[in-house]
């Protein structure tokens, strides 16, 4: 199964992708995580990506698509993938379709996790993430048991540079201008299913899995 999780920054794609990948035994590919890892390693890719990420802009398609295509050629992707944060532009969506087609595969479902704008702003500005295992927390809605420490692995929590207010509004603007057109793109191919992203992580997870199973059953 090849599944895309689509949603604005802060919609909960990352959290849901981890859960769904575990449940359906799919590889989880998050391009944002890949760029952050490249930055941590200090590679040329990481340095280039930083120029865009710190401004809340998208990394150019050429760079992002090349990185993604290399990643999906790895053996762990053969059984299926959940894409989190990719594609984010029409050009990326088309490049992914073309690459999968060459392997006789195709995107099966696209889940659009929908959350209202004011809620997105609130979520992003209170978000803290574990440096080690990437688990997300929120200072009001899901605080860690011990301040600054991850409940799961004890790692240090940090606020992403691009979760600062000025960058957040730029990221939301970029989403509506460049990524939202993908909602139409996948609606046209009959692959889009919308899930309400407001509610507990568990409820959204259940909604996502139910939608995926319903769509899969409908195609049989
Ligand atoms: P995320 O962790 O998905 O919120 O991504 C963080 C940042 O990484 C984005 O604001 C972009 O600057 C960059 N990024 C991640 N995925 C993509 C993508 N598919 N295309 C372009 N830029 C991306």
Does residue 140 surpass a pLDDT of 70? yes
Mean per-residue pLDDT over the chain, rounded: 92
pLDDT tens-digit profile of 7-57?
999 999 988 999 899 999 999 999 999 999 999 999 999 999 999 999 999
For the annotated catalytic residues, the residue numbers are 13, 88, 127, 160, 171
Is residue 66 a part of any domain in this protein? no
Is residue 83 a part of any domain in this protein? yes
Is residue 151 a part of any domain in this protein? no
Is residue 67 within 8 Å of residue 74, measured between CB atoms? Answer: no
Does residue 216 surpass a pLDDT of 80? no
β-bridge partners, 84: 5, 30
Is residue 163 a part of any domain in this protein? no
How many angstroms separate the alpha carbon of residue 179 from the centre of ligand 1?
11
Is residue 212 a part of any domain in this protein? yes
Residue with CA nearest ligand 1 atom 15? 32
pLDDT tens-digit profile of 161-190?
888 888 999 999 999 999 999 999 999 999
Is residue 48 a part of any domain in this protein? no
**For 179-188, which contacts have Cβ atoms below 8 Å and span 24 or more sequence positions?**
179/6, 179/8, 179/87, 179/88, 179/89, 181/90, 182/6, 182/87, 182/88, 182/89, 182/90, 182/93, 182/110, 183/6, 183/112, 185/90, 185/93, 186/4, 186/6, 186/93, 186/107, 186/110, 186/112
Domain with residue 83: its CATH number is 3.40.50.300
Task: Tell me which of 85, 124, 167 to substitute to probe ligand 1's pocket, judged by most ligand atoms within 8 Å of the beta carbon.
Answer: 85
As for how many domains the chain has, the answer is 1
Q: Which domain holds residue 110?
A: 2-26+79-116+169-219
Distance CA 62, CA 92 (A): 9
Q: According to the model, what pLDDT value does residue 219 have?
A: 62
Is residue 130 a part of any domain in this protein? no
Is residue 71 a part of any domain in this protein? no
- The set of protein residues with a Cβ atom below 6 angstroms from ligand 1 is 9, 31-32, 35, 52-53, 56-59, 64, 85-88, 92, 162, 171
pTM above 0.85, yes or no: yes
DSSP at 218 = H
């Amino acid at each position: 199964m090849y599944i895309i999780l689509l949603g604005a920054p802060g919609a909960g794609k990352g959290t849901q992708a981890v859960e769904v990948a575990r449940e359906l035994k799919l590889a989880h590919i998050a391009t944002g995580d890949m760029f952050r890892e490249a930055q941590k390693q200090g590679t040329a890719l990481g340095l280039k990506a930083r120029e865009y990420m710190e401004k809340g802009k998208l990394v150019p398609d050429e760079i992002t698509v090349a990185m993604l295509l290399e990643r999906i050629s790895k053996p762990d992707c053969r059984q299926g993938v959940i894409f989190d944060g990719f594609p984010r532009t029409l050009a990326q969506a088309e490049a992914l379709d073309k690459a999968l087609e060459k392997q006789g595969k195709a995107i099966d479902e696209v889940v659009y996790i929908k959350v209202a704008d004011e809620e997105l702003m609130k979520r992003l500005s209170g978000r803290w993430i574990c440096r080690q295992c990437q688990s997300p927390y929120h200072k009001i809605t899901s605080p860690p048991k011990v301040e600054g420490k991850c409940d799961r692995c004890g790692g240090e929590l940090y606020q992403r540079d691009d979760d600062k207010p000025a960058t957040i509004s730029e990221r939301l603007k970029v989403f509506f201008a460049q990524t939202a057109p993908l909602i139409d793109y996948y609606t046209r191919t009959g692959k889009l299913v919308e899930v309400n992203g407001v509610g507990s992580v568990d409820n959204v997870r259940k909604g996502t899995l139910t939608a995926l199973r319903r769509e899969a059953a409908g195609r049989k």
